[in-house]
Structures are given as C-alpha cells and as structure tokens.
Structure 1
Amino acid sequence: MTKQVNQPIVPRWYSAVLYFLGFLLFLEWLYPLQQVTDTQDMHVFLIYAVFCFLITFVQINGFLKFLLKSAGILFALHYVFFDDSIFHFVWIGEIIEDALQHMSFIYQRQWAMFSPLFRSLLFLVLIWLMSYLVHYWFVYAKKMLVFILLTFSYIAVLDTFMTYDAQWAIVRVFIFSFTALGMGHLIKEMEREGFRLSLPVKKQFKWLIPIITVVMFSTLLGYAAPKWEAKWEDPVPYLKDVAGINDHSIKKVGYGDDDSRLGGDFVEDDTPVFKATVQDKQYWRVETKDVYTGKGWIKSSSLTSIMEDVVPFSTFNPEIESERMEGVVAFEPGMEFKKLVYPYDLIDVKREDGDHVYFVDEAEAIRIEEGEIDKYELTYLQPSYPLDDLKQSNKPDLHSEDYNLEQFIQLPEELPSRIRELALEITEPYDTYYDQVKAIEQYFNQNGFVYQTSHIPVPGEDEDYVDQFLFDTKAGYCDNYSTSMVVMLRTLDIPARWVKGFTGGEEIDTVTKDGKTYRVFEVTNMNAHSWVEVFFPNIGWVPFEPTQGFSNLANFHTETEAVDEDILEAESEQPELNDESDEQNDLEEQLEDTSMPAESNQKTKTKWPMRIILGTLITIAIVGGIIIYRKRLYLETLWIEKRWERNQDTQAFQDLYHQLLKVLELNDQDKASHDTLREYARQVDMRYDTDAMGKLTVMYEHVLYRGNNNIDETEEVTQLWKDLIKRIMG
C-alpha cells in the first residue's frame, strides 16, 4: 500500500506533453524577431532554445544543468561571432572582457552602446531563464494562463504596429494554449482526487482525445465563421503621422510622381488641391505609364516633343461623337503642379499670362518649360463612346504601324503564370473583345475583393504586386485594382495602360458665364486616383473603372439597344464615391447590365445561399454544443454505464464508482477530507434513504485493497448503481 502511494499520480509523458506545448508557445515569441528586428542567425537561438528546454525537463543534477547550458551559450556565441578554432579558447577571454566592459554601460543606462556580442549573450541568458520559468508555470504550478495572455497580447501588438502578419500565429497560439489549459486542468484534478492511471500508454492517451477534439473543432469553427469588419479605425497611421515618423509603406493620400514601388497604407488627407469650373464632372488626367516592373510603374522614355499652341496627342478618334467644352482650373495656394491636370480630350491650354509653351513626355504628361502652374483655361472635347461599336470591335493588330501598341502589352519576364491563368478563366465564357475587357473589369466587384487603405502590404523582393493582390490579400485601393486589370489584360495581348490623375471632386457652387451654367468642383487629395485605358481600333483609348466603389465617369451611348437615356445621363453626372467608399453605385450597375452578358452577375447570386447555409450550420453547432455541455454529466454517466455493460471487469467497476462520486459531488454531496469512504457512504445512504452506496463501497474496497480481479455480483452492482444514480439525478 505504501508503494502505491509513492507511485506518481500523473504519467510522466503527460508532463512532457504539457511542457512541449509551453515550448511551442515560447517559440511564437521568437518567430517574429527576424522580421521586425535586425536579429540574424535565428536558427542558432532556436537550437539553443530546444537544448535548454530539453535539459530543464530531464531530471539531472542542478550543477550539471548549469554547466551544460553555459557551454551551450559559449558554443552559440562562438558560432556566430568567431572564426578561429573552438579549441583555442582565446575567444572565451574576449567574451568575458566584452561582458565586463558592458557592466559600466548597464550602470550608466547606455543601452545603445551594447555590442551585438553582448546583446546576443543577454538574449541567450533570457532563453535559459525562460526554459526554467515555462517549466515552473506549465509542469510544476500548472498556472500558465498569465503566460498565455501575454503571448496573445505580444502577437496582437506585433500584428497591429509592425509588419508581422500574425494571422496563423494567432491560430497556433489558440491551439497550443487551450490544449495546455485542458491538460493542466485534467492533471490538477487527477492530483486532487489522488487518481492514478494504471493503464498502458495507448489507453492513457484516450483521456486527451476530448480535449484535442474540442480545441480542433473550435479552431475550425472560428476559421470558417464569417469575420466582422473592423469597427475601429487603424490607429497606427494616425500615431505615426502625429509623431512625424516617415514610413516608406505608409503615405498620405494625394498625387505622387514615383510609382515604381506601389503598396503600403494610406493616411486620409482631404486637403483641397484645385477648383475646376466646368460644365460636367469628369476624370482629370495627369499622365499614363506603360512599363510594369512587378513592383510598380515607370514610363518607357522621357521628353518626346516641344510644341506650341497645339496638344500633340489625342486619346480618341476625331470621328467619335463629342462636345466642345471650356473650363478653368485654379490650384490652391501652395498646391501648384508642374504638370497640367486635363480632361478628355484636351485641345488648347491658355495661361493667364498668355503663354502657350509646354512640352509633352511619353507619359502624356503636359508640362510648362519652367516653374509651376497655378491657373489656366482649357478647351477640350468631351467624348461619348459608342457601345455598339465597342461591342463589335475586334482585337487590334499589335504590330500595325498605324497604332504602335507593342509597348502596351509589356510584362516582366518573371510574372507569375497564375495571373494569366486567372485572366483566361475569367474571359473564357466571352467571345468578343469588349466583353472580355468588361469581364475582367467586373471581376473585382465580387470574388471576395474589398476596398481598404490600411494593412496593405508592400511586396517583397520575390513577390509580384499584382499576384499578391489577386491571390493573397484581395484588399487594396485604386492602384491595386487598376494595375491588376492592366496586367491581366496584357497577359491576353490586349493593349492597356495605367492612368493617373483625379476623380471629379465635390460640387460646391455654380456660376453663369456667356449664358452657360458652369459647375464648380473642389478636388482634394482624397480624389487622387488611378484607372485603366484600353485601346479599341477606330475608337481609341477608352477608360475603364475596376476599383470597387467607383463609377466610370466617361459617357457611353447606344443606338441599337433600348437603353434608358435617364440612366445614361445619371451615369455621366452621378457623384463619384470617396476613396473610402464601399459600394458600387446602383446607376452604374444598371448601365453595366445593358452592356455585359447576362451571366456576369451569376456569382453574386450564389453567395447568399452559401452564407445562409453556413450560418445555419454554425447556429446548429453552437446550439448543439450548448446542449451537450449542459447534459455532459448525464451523457458521461450513460457512456460509463454502457461500457460497464460491455466489459464488467475491475477497471470498469472502478470507473463506475468514480463516476458515482463525481455525480454526488456535483449534486452538493461533497466528501469531507477527514471522512473515510464508509463514513461518506453512510451519509449518502441516509440522504437518499437507501443502502446502495454502502454496498457499492464495500465492493470497491475489496477490489482496491484485496486485489480482487473478478466481480461476481455484476447484476447486483448494475442494479444498485442504476437505483442510486436515479435517486441522485432524479
């Protein structure tokens, strides 16, 4: 009997598993360091962490542990910082000398003076200490909740304020944490009850199956469940802007010249840029760019011509129906550009001083010779593109000398092949040139894409900007959408180019001049925008708008289809949404229905049934889980009873009796620590007016202390147990 008491209550491998889970949680603290700091040779620190945790768990002499871990630190430092032989031992003196020198830095709190060698030494010592602390929290004290909460907080802070993507880290921490909490609770209950597992290891593992099942089910349910959009604005851009921190991946909304490195977050900025006095709202072009590098856009060449009095290019065929219009652009003080902002299709520009001299570069950016432009008058043609001709148009001859379009199908050699495969998949149902372009334009209005200006990554060295947006993030702003459409079109040999400028702005006033009514629009940094132009033979460059929440500001007309003229007028005059808009304008959708094949919106109609089904399944799962949880004692009791009926051996009888004790405890019939089992049985029999508990207790003692391997009175045991359970749970 004394031997039985000295045997360990909890199997050794239970503690090993619990400690291993603690080690996995500790690794989540190390994984982000290489990405968010300048820490190198992370594999050395990971190997030392494994070494320390193994040494801590193994039951060896404390002084030997100290020697082994100290030797591990020396080997790690030698590997990283020294090139000479490990047996020269001179490097050990250098480490000691460096450590002594840094004692004065510590006393003076000059943390910035620490050398990489000393910082690495401190980091290795920290890993040493953490191996002991994790062992204490997880194996000895079973109090790991604080460490788990700190791990969640650490990961969340890095994900919010750093470039570290903690999506899968959070999932891993959830699995490790709740499995550890479940095992810790199981071990504490076994120790409190003095319950020993005398089963083989394979059968002991069955005790962990419920914990693992619940954790994995919760993880899968949480991963599959719909996610609510963020309710709070991202504080990071605001804090960095207030603090004056310049980050290459976070910039203010507005027009910029350098597009060679796209991506990163935007900070909203509604500073007015210019006022436009015109008759209709429209796009304001600044320039186009034709060379996609995989990271952004550059122009193929610089200055091409210097002209006077006439703009040397046009975006559409002069035979296209258009209306001659005039307008005035006046920049706000301090916001002057060296480039003109101009509408489709510019004819003439007059400055206040009467100077017409300007030059045009390959990007179709119109500049003056020197200085900046603050105000000028425009004469332009506003086109109305014929839908009938667009639908009947064929793909242009890329090698034709009349068009010179080869530069507009340029793509980098290392472009991922799955971009073209996606473009082919999108356009496969459509035969005509126009329908294929519209299919890609409309693709972004569904298929899980969202418009947002925060948490937008900058592609790494081995990543493509478009590939990252199409297949990984599916979240971004106008640059993501427009660039992706241009690149997908080019993979199909459809000439397309990237256009930069501004949307129409907000109408703030009206003025009358020479009997004509002009509308005054205020254009701000929030209206900075990029869109797409696609070339159609005999028509020219036609604008397209793939960005979610934005409407195409160009005019279209048809003569053969019964298109409501009011819809077309509303399409040309409707106010465009701000950069943070989330929904496409209904009038735009009505117009698109007249120009796209009927099956273009099929996918959006199938989303709602799937959401309803998923929501129903989740609701059923939650309700079922609540019912199972509330009935868990009854179900557990029923399961143990069925197991006893199948296999009436001593182990099954012990399980039967232990379950009886558990049911009594949960029904406010606790056993006092000073009571024997027989005294406790008499109290139970007196409360429920029976003698069943006493008889079962006598049988249990015979099995436990006399080593009876056979239960002779199985029918009596079954009857006594059922009768007592009914009285207790009734």
Structure 2
Amino acid sequence: MKQNIRLLSAYLTSNWYEKLTYLFIAVILSNTIAIFDGFWWEETYAIAYYTLFSAAVIDILLPLRKRFVKLLLQISAAIVITTQFARMDWVIANPEHWQEWVWWLQAHAVQLLPFIWISAVLLMLHVLFGLWIATRPRMFGFIGVSIFTLTIADSFTPIWLWDEVGLVVFIGLLWLVANHMSRLQREHPRSWKELIEYPLQLILPIALVLSILMAVGLNMPSLSPILQDPYTMWKESKGEKVKIFLGDKGTDAITPGSSGNASSGYSRSDELLGGGFEYDYSPMMTISTSHRSYWRGETKSVYSGDGWYDVEGNEEGDTYSRIEKGATLPIQDERPLAKTIEVSQIVTMVRKDAYPVLFAAAPVTRVNWIGNEEAPLPKGLMWMPGAWELRWLDWSMQKYPETYSVTSSIPVLDEEALRKAKAGWSDPSRNALYVQLPDTVPARVRELAEKVTAEATNDYEKARLLETYLRLNFSYNNKPDESKLTGKTTDFVDRFLFELKEGYCDYFSTSMAVMARSIGLPARWVKGFAPGVLPASAYGPPGDMLEEDLNPTGAGTYTVRNSDAHSWVEIYFEGYGWIPFEATAGFSFPYSIAEEEEAPLPDLDGSTGDTAAAGEEDTNTNVKLWAWSSVSLLTILGAAWLIIRREKVIASWRRIRHGSYTNNDRIVIETHKLLRICRKRGMERQEHETLREAVMRWSQSQKRLRDDFRAVIDGFEQAKYSPVIASAEDADRFVVRVRSLIDQLR
C-alpha cells in the first residue's frame, strides 16, 4: 500500500512545473472570461468552467508525452460537458441507414450551438498556451494581457472585476514562485534535493508572504486618482467629458460631507441627504411600456431636517396586502373624480442588484406575472395600498426578479378640475402625517412659501407656483458647492433655499415638499427613476419632428440607467388622489393631459341664396372703367389704413405667420431650430443630458458665446415650464438673439 502511494506521488510530482502551468492557465482563462458577464448565459459559463478544468485535470493525470491521447480525451470531455448543460432535447429514433444516422446527429449537433464553439475556442487556447508558454517572458506576457484585459473592462464597463484581477495577480505570483523553483531544480539539483527535505520551511514563508500581500491589496480603501490619464486630460482640454461606466460601483447612497462624490443610482437610505455624485451611465433596467412615465419606487413621509424616513408601518394606517396574480390591487384613498389611463409594462432588469421595491408607473393596479407567465407569484411580494409600493420583503435574502409584468392606472392631469379641488382630506387627522415638519425648519421657509404663493386663488395654483419658483430660481448641479454653507442653519431645505441655491433632484423635491407642508398642502417625497430613453431609431431623422409629435403616448422600450435615478413630490387632492409635481430644473414629468373638448364648428352647409348669373354677358367700357377706378381707390385707402394701423397689422401678421402659437411656443420653436444648427456643427446632446447640461458643456468650448447660450437656455426654460406667458417684445428679442447666435455658429 505504501509503495503504491509512493508510486502515485512520484508520478504526480514528475514534471510538476508543466502540470502546474496547465492548471494556472485554466484558472487565469476562467477568470478572464468574466468580461463577458451580461453577454453569456449561466449555462455558457458552466460549460466554459468545466471544460477548462477538465482539460487541466487530464493534463495533470496523463503523461506529457501522450499529447494526442490527452487531446482526444479533452475534446470528448468538452462535448459531454456541453451536452449536459445545453438543455438538449434528445430525439428518440432508431436509425437504420447512414442517412438517418446523419439526420439524427445533425438534429443533436444543432442544439450544441453556440456553446460548442465557445467550448472549442477555450480548449484550443488552453492547449496552445500550454505549448507556447515555455519561457518566463511569455509567462509574463500571458499574465499581463489577462490583467490588462480585466482592468480595462473593470474601468470602462458596468462589470465589477476587481476580484478577478486580484485572483489573477495571486496566481501570477504563485506561478512566478513555481517557475523560480523549477529553475532551481533544473540548474542546481543538489540544492533542490536538500531544500525539499524540509517542505514546511519551504512552503510556509511563501504562503505567508503571498497571503499578506493579497490581504493588504484586497482591503485597501478606494481612493480617487491623484493623476489623470493622458486621454482624459486631452478630452477635457477640448471641453469634452469622458464617460466612465461604473456599473455596480455606483449603487450606494450619496454620503454628504464626504471628500469624494458617490455615483448616481437608487439610494438605499435617505435619512441623510446632501453632498454630490458622479454620473453612472450604466444601464439598470429596460421597460417596455404603452405610455411614458416616471418609474416609482418608494415613498417617504417623515422629514427630519436632514432627510426622509418612514414611520413604523410606513404610511399611516398602511398595511401589507397579499397579491394574487392578475387581481386588482386596492388603493387606500379612492379617486372617484380622477380620469385614469391604463399602462402596461414589462420590466427587465439588466443588473443583478436587489431592491426593496419593484419599479413601475404609479399606482400599480395589477401584477400580471413575475419571472414568466406560468410561474406563481413569490411569497415575498406585497402591496402597500397607501404608499403605492410593490414591496419585495426580505430583499437582501431573496433573489430579485429578473423580469416582471405589471399594469398601472396613471391619473390624467385635468388642471381645470384640480383648481376646484381642495388639497388634503376632510378629516384633519389624516393630514397630520403629511404636513409634519420638525423644529429645525426655520420660519423663513414658511414665509418664503407664503410669499411665492400669495397670488394663488386655490391649492393647485399654490403647488404650481412653488414648483415654478424652484425650477426658475435655482440651478441644477450634481456637485453643489458646499463651501457656500455658513453653518448658521442645520436644516437641509433652509440651507438649499438661502445658501446653496443649487443642487440636484433631492434638493429640489425635498424643498418643494417642505414648502408645501409649511402652507398646509399635504405632501410626500417619492424616489424612483426618470423615464430613460428610447432607442435612437424611435426618434426619426434629427430635427424632423418633435418627440411628442412622433410618439404622443411615449410607447416603446426604454433603457433606464443609474443616471436616471430621481426624486419628486406628490400632493394629495381630495377626490383625485396623489398628484405628482416636478420641481427639479431641467426635468419634466410626462403627464397624460386631459383632451380639450372640441369647439362646435360653424354651420357651413347653410344656404346662401341663389347667386346671380350677372357678369356672363359682355360688359361695356364704362363698367370696366368704373371697376378699375374702384380697385385703385380701394388700394389707396387700404395702403393708408395699413400705415395708420401698422402696429396692429404687424401683430396680426405674426399671429397668421405663427398660426396658433403663443409667444412661449415661438421661443421653444426657435430653441429647437438652434439645436438643429448645433447638431450640424458637431455639438451633440447626449441621451443622458438635460438641455441645460448640454448647453453648459457647449459653452466650455465656445466661450465667446457663453452669455448668449445662457440667455437662450434661461429664456427656453421660462417659456417651457413657467405659467407666465412671454410678451411679443420678449419673444422678438429672443428670436433676434437666437438668429444672431446661429449666424455666429455658421
């Protein structure tokens, strides 16, 4: 028995370095293919891993000289592994002639595609690298290419590959040690024999040093780069920004007061708002929908002065309701006066993150399916009828759904009806939670809200005035300058309104909610995602038509990115439920607007009486002279009238020229003309940018036009979002400025 063990040990340790080389190659290749995460299926990865490691085991167990035999076994193992994981449907048949055998083999071979090609390529790489890596420089080249590939993918794709990089570095260090030992064995056999007599003393220092190096490397804190790479420096010198896709690296909540900026994404906690963030443009989900909407996540009801949190049980009196497949979900406060539109959505998650809620247009009225149409609904899915939340209970432990289908019933915005409605409930106790404010909110916040809404005659106008005030008087900035803070106030909203005066959606939405509460409008804070973007093909040729004309409902498949994470406000109106408001500059809520009733057309079929057939006979010369004299006299009188009433005539001409457009419409149309010219001059608006962000970016490379650009975007936003109608003189000045800007660009 002992002799057999010795023989086996001697067999396995013979050519030990070459056998370890095949093992190291298999491990490094299996880590490098992680760059295809999101493109390969789980079955593909299983086939790849088993193929590589079965090839390595065959290389270790069989003698090196049996290369042909090893290759046959490795190919056979790859085929068997592929058939096991490719979900093949075996054709039951009893072939009798060779044509039937060929058909039977083809029927099964087709099912191996494309898995068999991936398996074959990996096996070929494993064999070729095993034969090629015979020197130390080639070993360094192989390891270096693997690390370079992983680090590039880690930096510029949504995939997190730091663990794979660390493992490849660790394997590379082990390989280097093994190479050194092999060289020692080959060149100094006596020293090698003496060394292996004390294996513990040989292995322990190596293991200890490598373990310390890897532990320190893997647990080092993340730091911002001290030096920029040349490519980024060159792009920024041209006034351009370099997109960096951060993927899973950008899911944490924004941490105020930190020296660095977090990345955009759905926040896990909202109890401490503030700070700044970097945009993370990695895709988060796709939504196929019948109507464009905001994709709602969670609702928060209690403002603390620093941020938002839920009371116990979330909304007051709100409880979890079980969900039945296809059944209508209850809503705590009915909306008997509201018109609604049914919206169908299929959500497909791109990322593998887990969230506490499922995202959808609000409120959800029916869950159609989770995972697939046949699967039962998960037990962890609950509905909160007051908060309008689809809660994913124990979300940190359960696998988040990869795809699901829901139906929502979104309100139709009827502003005339809402102006007649009262904000809040008739029962004052119901309003208490949604008008709650902490003592940290200074009186000047309420005074400002009262001043802004002083001219309003109803609650809806008050809400719109607050929304417009914030949109027009505060600027959007994902990295607000916190050096402006004086430290005299600790309230988040007070600091924004009177000191910072710039920020992102959390600043705007929280400020509107607090200002609304301060004047008695019941409001709550909502977070989720902005609509995202449709494929480029959905918009038609550049400059052809406005998006609303091409696709009035916004139906399509939207790609929602982490940079679309957003927050907004809802205010309760009796009989109409919770109505959303968008206070953030540069954003626009995709309301469904009530269609105006068509005015009755005048009766064009009435009889005008019989017309005379005069003029059919020849007229004499006197009649012709009289006619020409009349025409001349009328022309002279008309010209005199035009001169006297020229101002009114010009105004009428403008109305005819621009149709039914208002002065605000003229400003918006001229801005779109400018955007088309900018696009032709290479100034593209990126899909993730608001118009203001794009114009500010263009201003960096067109500094002489910075003031004109800024004036145009200010005028556009006021015309687009303000309830105030611009005067004709303002519109004329805007048109002149835009045309001057176009001339300078040409």
- Length-normalised TM-score, structure 2: 0.43
Which has the higher Rg, Structure 1 or Structure 2?
Answer: 1
